């Protein structure tokens, strides 16, 4: 199965209504008949991504940063496990951003982010990111409107810097509904092995759902240039979510076209018997 990812891409300056986007969209693929094929395709794509990452590392000229954002229980952890868990861990660095520490607060808000961006040859995955500073910070009013407004420009300039220096940036919102989130919270409470993931404060954040959706819309409208686009991936059908994101990562790496470097010697001079 091949997914038309362009349907999920946010174009520069595009007006967005998340309420009009189906969180359970599968583009016509049916759970009853296509889920098995999607899971098989995921295995193939992960293998291809792993091969491309080896070339990326060998070339040592470019990096790839994948930013994952979602509401609580949106599936960031499971996405990372399903899509990136099968890759060589030496070439993939996952960074999770929670509330900033005292040391981090003593610097500008992008300081801690820049330190975790992938080096050349690596894939970096952000579980939450610098966008928290125009999402939760905006929703709770922890910074002035003027400060938030400046941050959209900061973010665009920051991502342009990464792009100019060889790091491709793609940003993914895992799109779920408020009802789906409630279902996931209830499942966490029903399973002792998931209790640790439940935070009662998340229920308070649910009351601000509409404010969060608007904050997401503004962030994506303001910060989705061609060089660092946003994708809104429907995330309630996890089999579809996983294969869509794997295809996006694969297609991005393939377009980057990393190449093995030419050796600085003539391999023919050594041959199978020339190395002892």
Contact call for residues 64 and 264 (beta carbons, < 8 A)? no
Domain ranges of the chain: 5-14+21-256
Quote the CA–CA distance of 116 and 149 in Å, as a whole number.
24
Percentage of residues of the chain with pLDDT beyond 70: 98
Contact call for residues 131 and 155 (beta carbons, < 8 A)? yes
pLDDT at 274 over 70: no
pTM for the predicted model, two decimal places: 0.94
Q: What is the CA radius of gyration of the chain?
A: 20
Quote the CA–CA distance of 162 and 67 in Å, as a whole number.
13
pLDDT, the chain, mean: 95
pLDDT tens digits for range 79-130 = 999 999 999 999 999 999 999 999 999 999 999 999 999 999 999 999 999 9
Mean of the pLDDT values across residues 139-146?
A: 97
pLDDT tens digits for range 151-162 = 999 999 999 999
Q: Does domain 5-14+21-256 have CATH number 3.90.1170.50?
A: no
């Amino acid at each position: 199965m091949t997914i038309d990812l362009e349907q999920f891409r946010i174009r520069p300056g595009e007006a967005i209504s998340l309420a009009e986007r189906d969180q359970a969209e599968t583009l016509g693929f049916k759970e009853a008949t296509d889920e098995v094929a999607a899971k098989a395709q995921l295995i193939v794509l992960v293998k291809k991504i792993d091969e491309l990452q080896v070339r990326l590392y060998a070339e040592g000229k470019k990096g790839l940063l994948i930013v994952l954002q979602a509401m609580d229980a949106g599936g960031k952890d499971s996405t990372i496990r399903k899509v990136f868990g099968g890759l060589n861990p030496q070439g993939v660095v996952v960074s999770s951003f929670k509330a900033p520490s005292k040391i981090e607060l003593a610097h500008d808000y992008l300081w801690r982010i820049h330190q975790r961006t992938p080096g050349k040859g690596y894939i970096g995955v952000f579980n939450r990111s610098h966008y928290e500073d125009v999402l939760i910070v905006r929703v709770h009013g922890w910074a002035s409107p003027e400060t938030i407004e400046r941050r959209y420009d900061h973010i665009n300039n920051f991502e342009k810097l990464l792009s100019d220096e060889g790091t491709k940036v793609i940003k993914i919102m895992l799109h779920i509904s408020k009802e789906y989130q409630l279902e996931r919270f209830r499942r966490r409470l029903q399973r002792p092995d998931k209790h640790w993931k439940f935070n009662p404060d998340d229920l308070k954040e649910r009351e601000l759902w509409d404010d969060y959706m608007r904050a997401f819309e503004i962030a994506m409208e303001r910060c989705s240039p061609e060089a660092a686009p946003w994708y809104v991936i429907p995330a309630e059908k996890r089999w579809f979510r996983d294969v869509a994101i794997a295809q996006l990562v694969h297609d991005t790496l393939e377009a980057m076209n990393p190449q093995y470097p030419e050796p600085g010697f003539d391999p023919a001079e050594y041959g199978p018997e020339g190395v002892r």
